[in-house]
Chain A
Amino acid sequence: MTTAPAPAAVDKRGTQSPWRMYYRRNGRALNAFLTFMLVWGFFAFNNPTLFLIPGYYNAFLFSVPATIIMTTALVFVIVSGELDLAFPSVMGAAGGLFMTLVISGVPILPAAALTMLGGAALGAAIGAIVVYGKISSLVATLGLNFFIVGIVNLLAQGKNIESRESVATFGYAFFTGRWEVFGLQVPNHFLIAVAWTVLCYVLFKYHRFGIRVQMVGDNPDSARQMGINIDRIRVGVFVWSGLAAALCGVILVQTANMVWFPTSGKAYLLIALAALFVGGTPTWGGVGTIWGAFFGALTVTLIPSGAVGAGFAGFWTDFIFGLVIILTMVAHRFGGARVR
């Protein structure tokens, strides 16, 4: 019996459409963008006249930058598999350091640069305690947050630091100057936040550091076996977080007319984390999205003022806040479950 040669096997499975591929890769960021548009659309639908006035967004653009900067930096921490709960204390400490430098005569821009260096150093110290002390970052940073706030309180003796005379300087204008665009006042610190987001995006997606952060978070054993110094990467994410917190601290002081309060930064803990998760970065590490975090920050900042603008009484705010967080978590499941 002779057998005919078997025909060459043909794989008939089709290739995926480019649209589908694009959604597979960027679904989380797209979902975060859609969430923002839906929340805005819902508010605008309830009160179109108010939400179509450009000037309505002045306060929004004024208050959103710190959340954007902190959230985009926290993406690195969460993606690496760590958690940073100490950043509010770094914000507060950085603001205090900045004002101390300013009232001792350092001009605003050099003082801001020094403060950011200080924030990075504080971040490095926090990272070193977590990584080399081999402590869970949840517990370590929770404790360090109280500890650093405590030290700041002791140093400040509960007093504010003010320097109202530096409001007229160039450095102040650099951070808080405004540009009038079609009736909308765009403050410089919003532009700084956008530039920071672009920087984070490039660092996360196209720089060796960002790629290695993703490798360490995805599978630390693999990363180590392939020669990546995972301890150094983990300390690095805390340095980045400290740097961002210091920049936020500087901006918070400036937007408060050069007044620093010892409680500065405290309010951002839950807001930044909510923005991060609404923004589509999952809790399990390895993957995340910078632009998602950006839109997440816009969403959580819009909700409190937007709800009131849409005609809801103030006591609705928390309810809407919670609803949006829960619904986006469900929506992100469609952006992809964890692959192993």
Chain B
Amino acid sequence: MAADDLAPGAPIVELRNIVKRFGSVEALSGVSLTVRKGEVLGLLGDNGAGKSTLVKTLAGVHDPDEGEIIVKGRRVSPWTPLAARNAGIETVFQDRALAPQHSIVTNIFMGREITNALGLIRVQRQIDEANRLMREIGFTSKVFNPESTVGHLSGGERQGVAIARALYNNADVIVLDEPTTALSLTETQKVFRFVNAVKESGRTVVFIGHNIYHVWDIADRFFVIDRGRTAFEGEKAAFTGADHLIEMMHQLAETGRADTASLRRTA
């Protein structure tokens, strides 16, 4: 599943001219987004800009009405959550996408159970793998174990389960949708450490956030969406600082366009 054949910086996922409509509302009107191998891409946009729709499109939850999705140079159609996962894209959804009445281990393997040829679950193997994953991301406690019920965990712990699930299977691209919302300071730090660890392993992260300072700290490149269209994008080095990015987003909100001439040229 690892994309070892791709050089760092090569396009790993490309969304081309994506259009998505919900009834009479056009949520995305021709967005093109390229995710490059090994980068942390910060995805920004106001409420209602189409951010969530774009993320859900990336995750396979929405199949676009127009446009195409290319993963590692190959067009994938139909585009479903299973197709996205099989293509190596794992998503930590904003709502965590957990089954609260079930155990941590069942949640980690949701939709991707370890079974034998008859489809029977390999229970001990799943528990061992869950234990290993939880230790890997520093998610241990004597109060809970892989068989604890997710509904009894705190918000940060639930986030940990969702992240552990995304990590299993060494996905090429990990999409984190608002991962720091409703988290405490220490839990936010944990998420940041986790993003850096994933990046160091040569994998790719798409990071979506409301807090521009958070996104600024963590991302290498920024992609800003506005009213269903690509507003602007740029490498971190193209901006003079977080305030520059914020200034451009203010312009965008007020005038509908940002002064892209102020961006420094990068090689």
Contact = CB atoms under 8 A, between A and B. Distances in A.
Q: Are A and B a genuine interacting pair, yes or no?
A: yes
A211 B122 CA distance: 12
B91 interface: yes
Contacts of B97: 219, 221-222, 225-226
A223 interface: yes
Interface in B110-131: 110-113, 115, 118-121, 123
B93 A225 contact: yes
Interface string A209-222: 10110110011011
Nearest to A340: B100
B120 A227 contact: no
B81 A218 contact: no
Contact of A226 (B111, B121, B151): B111
A13 interface: yes
Contacts of A222: 93, 95-99, 110
B143 A338 contact: no
Interface of A: 11, 13, 15, 24, 202, 206-209, 211-212, 214-215, 218-219, 221-229, 286-287, 338-340
Contacts of B115: 207-208
Interface in B69-118: 80-82, 84-85, 91, 93, 95-102, 106, 110-113, 115, 118
A206 B110 CA distance: 13
A250 B61 CA distance: 43
A11 B142 CA distance: 8
A2 B113 CA distance: 53
Contacts of A214: 99, 101-102, 106
A225 B61 contact: yes
A132 B52 CA distance: 27
A11 B143 CA distance: 8
A214 B107 CA distance: 11
Nearest to A284: B101
B100 A225 contact: no
A87 to B, nearest CB: 25
Which 7 pairs, one residue from A and one from B, show the smallest C-beta to C-beta distance?
A: A339-B151, A226-B111, A227-B82, A218-B99, A222-B97, A227-B81, A227-B111
A179 to B, nearest CB: 30
Given A202-B120, A207-B121, A208-B115, A229 B99 contact: no
7 contacts: A214-B106, A215-B102, A218-B100, A219-B97, A222-B99, A225-B59, A227-B82
A13 B142 CA distance: 8
Given A211-B106, A214-B99, A218-B101, A225 B151 contact: no
Contact of B121 (A208, A218, A287, A340): A208
B60 to A, nearest CB: 8
B80 A227 contact: yes
B119 A209 contact: yes
A230 to B, nearest CB: 10
Given A225-B59, A225-B91, A215 B82 contact: no
B143 A340 contact: no
B110 A229 contact: no
A225 B119 contact: no
B112 A227 contact: yes
A228 B110 contact: yes
B152 interface: yes
A208 B100 contact: no
A229 B101 CA distance: 20
B101 A339 contact: yes
Contacts of B110: 215, 222-223, 226, 228
A218 B120 contact: no
B61 A206 contact: no
A339 B100 contact: yes
Contacts of B85: 226-227
